């Protein structure tokens, strides 16, 4: 294992507030010295039950230093709902949280999303800090201030923009990450690489990232992916234009998730979405060599999930996508790798062709 002795701090200068991202190894134990804004009267930590069971000692020790109250969270997509959030609003009230209180979300993307939503809605918004513990949460879900809960019709339909004060990324948490969660995170890493993160693209093409290796290649990959997403968010905090590129793979991916009622992981759905939307991109002019490169990367990291669905129902579920305008589904497509374009209308027949291509692929 290569030694990782450094840590990096990135400060996002946003319209709504300043948000600091700290990336390192073993840094969670020093949480009390990292989140230095000390005005909070009550600190509530919403902690994934799974993560708490795996890392109880370090979580208890670190949170005791800031007198945080731990509330565990069953972090399934089914529990990322408004009805479930109401229970946590009541728990915050019971613990005498005010507008000067802090919520800390510790866990994967579902947990940080849920904790962020609770913080954004409680008393019209209180401060939040994220400690992402999965690869997906580190490189994507915790960054950007988008917080939401699901309803039956679609994913992340109800939510806000609510920026965290701090994001503490300690890659030591990845030592206990299951392979399935690793694959979820790699889907978002691949997405960033395809839409403009050239440093990560090089690492992926060179096959430098390997499951189970917490080394400098992984550190560089996470650092680059985080900085890429942060740079996009900084340019367009409220997703009025360029930030929409981050939805590549998600128009189809979210439709798959909602159609299958969140029984498939977000990462698997996005991996399928990336391949399907890359196929559409190729049919709309992206070089075939670029499509082959996308397919090779997805294959090399074993990201292609075996998911079956009815293409007609997927197209129908796209009606609920947040990017739609006047009933028209809008895609993010690639002109070429590294050159995304937003707001693309695609004929339903081509979408179904791409969906059927995917279904053919997984049968091989």
The total domain count for the chain is 2
Task: Provide mean pLDDT across the span 112-123.
Answer: 96
Q: For residue 188, indicate whether it is catalytic.
A: yes
Q: For residue 192, indicate whether it is catalytic.
A: no
pLDDT at 23: 97
Residue from 77, 181, 188, 277 carrying the catalytic annotation: 188
- The last residue of one of the domains, among 133, 149, 177, is 177
Q: Does residue 6 register a pLDDT over 90?
A: no
Range of the structural domain that residue 37 is part of:
8-177
Residue from 38, 39, 94, 124 carrying the catalytic annotation: 124
- The last residue of one of the domains, among 157, 177, 197, is 177
166 and 29 in one domain?
yes
Q: For residue 243, indicate whether it is catalytic.
A: yes
pLDDT at 331: 94
pLDDT at 113: 94
Q: For residue 160, indicate whether it is catalytic.
A: no
Q: Which residues contact 46 (CB under 8 A, 6 or more apart)?
A: 71, 72, 73, 88, 103, 104, 105, 106, 107, 111, 114, 115, 118
**Does some domain include residue 78?**
yes
pLDDT at 293: 97
Q: For residue 250, indicate whether it is catalytic.
A: yes
267 and 188 Cβ atoms separated by less than 8 Å? yes
Range picked from 34-43, 49-58, 212-221, 344-353 for highest mean pLDDT:
49-58
**Does some domain include residue 226?**
no
Q: For residue 124, indicate whether it is catalytic.
A: yes
Give per-residue pLDDT as tens, 148-201: 888 776 677 788 899 999 999 999 999 999 999 999 999 999 999 999 999 999
Q: For residue 86, indicate whether it is catalytic.
A: no
Q: Does residue 207 register a pLDDT over 70?
A: yes
pLDDT at 83: 86
353 and 269 in one domain?
yes
How many helices and strands in the chain, by DSSP H and E?
13, 11
Q: For residue 239, indicate whether it is catalytic.
A: yes
pLDDT at 203: 95
**Does some domain include residue 245?**
yes
Residue from 77, 191, 247, 277 carrying the catalytic annotation: 247
Percent with pLDDT over 70 in the chain: 95
């Amino acid at each position: 294992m290569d030694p990782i002795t450094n840590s990096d701090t990135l400060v996002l200068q946003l319209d709504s507030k300043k948000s600091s991202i700290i990336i390192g190894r073993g840094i969670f134990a020093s949480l009390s010295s990292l989140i230095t804004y000390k005005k909070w009267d009550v600190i509530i930590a919403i902690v994934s039950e799974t993560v708490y069971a795996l890392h109880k000692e370090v979580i208890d020790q670190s949170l005791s230093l800031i007198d945080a109250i731990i509330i565990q969270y069953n972090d399934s997509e089914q529990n990322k709902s408004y009805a479930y959030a109401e229970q946590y609003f009541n728990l915050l009230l019971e613990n005498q949280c005010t507008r000067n209180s802090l919520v800390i979300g510790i866990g994967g993307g579902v947990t940080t999303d849920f904790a962020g939503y609770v913080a954004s809605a409680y008393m019209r918004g209180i401060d939040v800090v994220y400690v992402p513990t999965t690869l997906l949460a580190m490189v994507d879900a915790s960054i950007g201030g988008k917080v939401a809960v699901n309803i039956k019709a679609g994913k992340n339909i109800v939510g806000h923009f609510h920026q965290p004060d701090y994001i503490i990324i300690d890659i030591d948490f990845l030592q206990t990450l299951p392979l399935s969660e690793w694959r979820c995170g790699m889907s978002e890493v691949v997405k960033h690489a395809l839409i403009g993160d050239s440093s990560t693209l090089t690492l992926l093409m060179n096959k430098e990232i390997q499951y189970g290796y917490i080394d400098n290649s992984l550190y560089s990959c996470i650092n680059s992916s985080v900085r890429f997403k942060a740079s996009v968010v900084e340019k367009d905090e409220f997703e009025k234009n360029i930030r929409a590129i981050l939805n590549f793979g998600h128009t189809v991916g979210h439709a798959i998730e909602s159609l299958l009622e969140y029984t498939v992981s977000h990462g698997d759905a996005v991996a399928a979405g990336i391949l399907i939307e890359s196929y559409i991109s190729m049919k709309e002019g992206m070089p075939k060599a670029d499509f082959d490169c996308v397919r090779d990367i997805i294959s090399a990291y074993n990201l292609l999930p075996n998911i079956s669905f009815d293409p007609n129902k997927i197209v129908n579920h796209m009606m609920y996508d947040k990017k739609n305008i006047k009933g028209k589904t809008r895609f993010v497509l690639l002109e070429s790798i590294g050159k995304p374009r937003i707001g693309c209308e695609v004929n339903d027949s081509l979408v179904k062709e791409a969906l059927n291509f995917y279904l053919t692929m997984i049968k091989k």
